Amino acid sequence: MIETANELGHVAMQEGEVLIEADTAAALAVGLAALAAGYAERGIGAAAVGAMAEDDDLFVNGLILTVLPETIVILALVVVFIV
């Protein structure tokens, strides 16, 4: 699959055509990053709640690990403002 994407990139560069506009690419970056962060938080949140049910001292660790995937979305927003 990577080879196919690489070949498509070379074809697009040779013809000088733009396959996707910068605004559309930025929107896709933020949307897919938010989707991935939500998917990651699903598993982390369930594990964190389970750990906190066993031991209340794990609240801070669970909170940090639950918020950590959101940094992906923040970095994607930085890309939008750069573009």
Render pLDDT for 26-71 as a digit per residue (tens, 0 to 9).
Answer: 888 888 888 988 898 888 989 999 999 999 899 999 889 888 888 8
H or E element, residue 60? helix 59-67
Cβ-based neighbours of 43, under 8 Å, separated by 6 or more? none
User: For 8-21, what is each residue's pLDDT tens digit?
Assistant: 556 555 566 667 77
Residues 62/2, Cβ–Cβ less than 8 Å: no
For the entire predicted model, the pTM comes to 0.63
Contact status, residue 16 vs residue 55, Cβ threshold 8 Å: no
Q: Tokens representing 4?
A: 């196919």
